Amino acid sequence: MTSNTTATLFADGFSAVRSYAQAAAQDYSKLTPGILKTEVLAGLTVALALVPEAVAFAFVAGVHPLVGLYAAFIVGLVTAVFGGRPGMISGATGALAVVMVELVSSHGVQYLFATVVLMGILQLIAGALRWGKFIRMVPYPVMLGFVNGLAIVIGLAQLEQFRLPTEDGGHEWMAGTQLIVSLALVGLTMAIIWGLPKVTKAIPAPLAGIGIVAAIVILFGIDVPRVGDLASIEGSLPPFAIPQVPFNLETLQIILPYAVILAAIGLIESLLTLNLVGEIKGERGGASQECAAQGAANVITGFFGGMGGCAMIGQSMINVKSGGLRRISGIAAALFLLSFILFASAPIEQIPLAALVGVMFMVVLGTFAWKSLQILVRVPKSDALVIVIVTVVTVMEDLAVAVLVGVIVSAIVFAWKQATKMHVTSRLEGDTKIYRVEGPLFFGSTESFARLFEPESDPEHVVIDFAEARVADHSGLAAIDALAQKYARQGKDLRLRHLSPDCQRLLTTAGQLIEPAEDDPRYGIAADYGVRVGRTDTGH
């Protein structure tokens, strides 16, 4: 890294810290007792919903429940303070857990901690290099498919709460009276969340739903699964420890592939959550800051015995819809979670899982983009296909793979559509044939571009006018050079008009055939100016 690049990164970092401090000061200056109460209660609601999620994801990854709870606390706290979008909630997630399980089973939990540290370092680099801006390349149909698939995944995950452990170590579905009562409690929780805002907004509806249903279950001694049936959440402060792994190249070769995958999945899920929360709050930006915050959170988590994490759309939706629009709610959620671990494990373990399932089912209903079902028949078929593909892949695989598939399919569809827009018109002026090219000339349209001309049958003098065209990449330049060579082999006089200065500078064979004019278009080409295309030994 050059000294200039390093200086630029430090300057950008200083600017980001200053902007963050100014925004935070402005945010807290508008704080009132009513807003503070809403933020804290929203944080409490989120913390209650985080407990079973963190425990469940720890089981998925094959680690102790406290490893998931520590991650939820540390990642949630750091990103709440420094993240790119106030109101977002981060913690241990299933998308990361399914990748971690193989590493844990084959090398142990200490290698997981080392991987989480490296994962955070990679995310910090992404933030420093401002790679978060590339999230804007995710098309809207991909976002719709992502949100729908995520809602389905959250809903399916709640069904696991209706499975009970058996004596042989397996699980069986709930049945009989216990199932009916559990479903009734889920329905009661959802009814409270739906109806309470119509009466009062003094307390977040999800928190009221959890509290009322928990009180009913405890008061009447109803026999339904509770948080404590998953695992005990009692523990101490997360201890600092350097991961106990050999510091050598072999260790790096083991953890690097996992760290890259985890870093990519974590950033994709976090940045999509950032966009989704931004749409709700009417805010933009913050992508690179979120990358850096996620990276710092995971580095710290790896040194304090946590499994790492990223943004959580379900909990973020709970927070925002409970009124948690500032950083205070995320900070409160993390601190409440820590207090549960240290001081309040017994009462928290008595909360019925049905109440938390009801909260998450309401999140599913609020997260699913129902309007996408209506627009499927009105939008272009390609967009509808992308929505469906991303939704299905999200459910069948994971969020990151679904988004990558959606972006690739969207890019292919876009390139194909643009390629079909390439066409030419021609006319004769005396002994000169003039072609007028229209449409983008890029890798997808070069083949059709070449078929639009007739070097063998054209007259001695030919002019190709690019006033209504745009050369987009090296492939387009190479196609022009190749066409010039065909005319040269036929001994024809070819002239090119209205190519941009970039094209004129980069073309070789065709470069000497250009007729410069004052009205030449000016646009850049997505290419390295130091590279020449279409090099030949024809001498033209």
pLDDT tens across 433-489, in order? 999 999 999 999 998 899 999 999 999 999 999 988 888 888 988 999 899 999 999
Q: Give Rg (Cα) of the chain.
A: 29
Strand locations in 430-536 (E)? 432-441, 461-471, 493-497, 514-515
Using one digit for the tens of pLDDT, what is the confidence trace for 400-428?
A: 788 889 999 998 988 888 888 888 999 99
| Residues 257, 313 within the same domain | yes
Residue 528 — pLDDT band, cuts 50, 70, 90? Answer: very low
| Residues 362, 461 within the same domain | no
Within-domain flag for 292: yes
Beta partners for residue 429, in sequence order = 432
Within-domain flag for 400: no
Rounded Cα gap, residues 185 and 355, in angstroms: 6
With H, G, I as helix, E, B as strand and everything else as coil, classify residue 272.
helix
Within-domain flag for 13: no
Domain containing residue 429: 420-515
Residue 375 — pLDDT band, cuts 50, 70, 90? Answer: confident
**Whether the predicted pLDDT of 11 surpasses 60:** no
**Whether the predicted pLDDT of 531 surpasses 50:** no
| Residues 349, 428 within the same domain | no
Give the C-alpha distances (Å, rounded to integers) separating 357 from 11, 43, 157, 196, 334.
47, 18, 9, 18, 21
| Residues 350, 456 within the same domain | no
With H, G, I as helix, E, B as strand and everything else as coil, classify residue 352.
strand
Rounded Cα gap, residues 157 and 172, in angstroms: 15
| Residues 351, 438 within the same domain | no
The percent of residues above 90 in pLDDT, for the chain, comes to: 57
Q: Which residue among 338, 356, 375 closes a domain? A: 375
**Residue 263 gets which letter from DSSP?**
H
Joined together, the tokens standing for residue 43 give: 């944080």
Residue 17 — pLDDT band, cuts 50, 70, 90? Answer: low
Instruction: Read off the pLDDT of each residue in 356-365 and give the average, rounded to a whole number.
Output: 91
Joined together, the tokens standing for residue 66 give: 């406290």
With H, G, I as helix, E, B as strand and everything else as coil, classify residue 538.
coil
**Whether the predicted pLDDT of 26 surpasses 70:** no
pLDDT at residue 143, as a whole number? 87
**Whether the predicted pLDDT of 346 surpasses 90:** yes
pLDDT at residue 539, as a whole number? 36
Rounded Cα gap, residues 62 and 132, in angstroms: 31
| Residues 261, 142 within the same domain | yes
Contact 348, 105 (CB under 8 A): no
**Whether the predicted pLDDT of 348 surpasses 70:** yes
Within-domain flag for 390: no
535 alpha carbon, distance to own chain's centre = 41
Number of domains in the chain: 2
Instruction: Read off the pLDDT of each residue in 207-223 and give the average, rounded to a whole number.
Output: 94
Within-domain flag for 322: yes
Strand-strand pairing, 514-515 and 493-497: parallel
Kind plus residue range of the DSSP H or E element containing 163: strand 163-165
| Residues 254, 358 within the same domain | yes
| Residues 217, 300 within the same domain | yes
pLDDT at residue 213, as a whole number? 96
**Whether the predicted pLDDT of 72 surpasses 90:** yes
| Residues 352, 261 within the same domain | yes
With H, G, I as helix, E, B as strand and everything else as coil, classify residue 532.
coil
Using one digit for the tens of pLDDT, what is the confidence trace for 95-146?
A: 898 889 899 999 999 999 999 999 999 999 999 999 888 888 888 899 889 8
Q: Which of 356, 347, 298, 343 is nearest to 53 (CA)?
A: 356
pLDDT at residue 398, as a whole number? 76
| Residues 149, 282 within the same domain | yes
**CATH code: domain of residue 461:** 3.30.750.24
Rounded Cα gap, residues 67 and 61, in angstroms: 10
Strand-strand pairing, 171-173 and 163-165: antiparallel
27-31, 32-36, 188-192, 366-370: the lowest-pLDDT one: 27-31
Rounded Cα gap, residues 246 and 254, in angstroms: 11
With H, G, I as helix, E, B as strand and everything else as coil, classify residue 525.
coil
Does residue 511 or residue 533 have the better pLDDT?
Answer: 511
**Residue 238 gets which letter from DSSP?**
P
Q: Which of 43, 73, 59, 50 is nearest to 301 (CA)?
A: 73
Using one digit for the tens of pLDDT, what is the confidence trace for 285-335?
A: 899 999 999 999 999 999 999 999 999 988 999 999 899 999 999 999 999
pLDDT at residue 120, as a whole number? 97
Contact 488, 540 (CB under 8 A): yes
pLDDT at residue 19, as a whole number? 56
Contact 393, 402 (CB under 8 A): yes
The percent of residues above 70 in pLDDT, for the chain, comes to: 91
Q: Which of 328, 334, 330, 327 is nearest to 283 (CA)?
A: 327
Contacts of 498 (CB under 8 A, 6+ apart): 465, 466, 467, 517, 519, 520, 521
| Residues 83, 209 within the same domain | yes
Contact 301, 63 (CB under 8 A): no
Within-domain flag for 44: yes
Contact 270, 90 (CB under 8 A): yes
pLDDT at residue 95, as a whole number? 82
Within-domain flag for 393: no
Within-domain flag for 438: yes
pLDDT at residue 31, as a whole number? 79
**Whether the predicted pLDDT of 509 surpasses 70:** no
Residue 535 — pLDDT band, cuts 50, 70, 90? Answer: very low
Using one digit for the tens of pLDDT, what is the confidence trace for 145-196?
A: 988 988 898 888 888 889 887 777 778 899 899 999 999 999 999 999 999 9
Using one digit for the tens of pLDDT, what is the confidence trace for 32-47?
A: 898 999 999 999 999 9
Residue with tokens 């989704």: 276
| Residues 215, 326 within the same domain | yes
Contacts of 76 (CB under 8 A, 6+ apart): 50, 89, 90, 91, 309, 330, 333, 334, 337
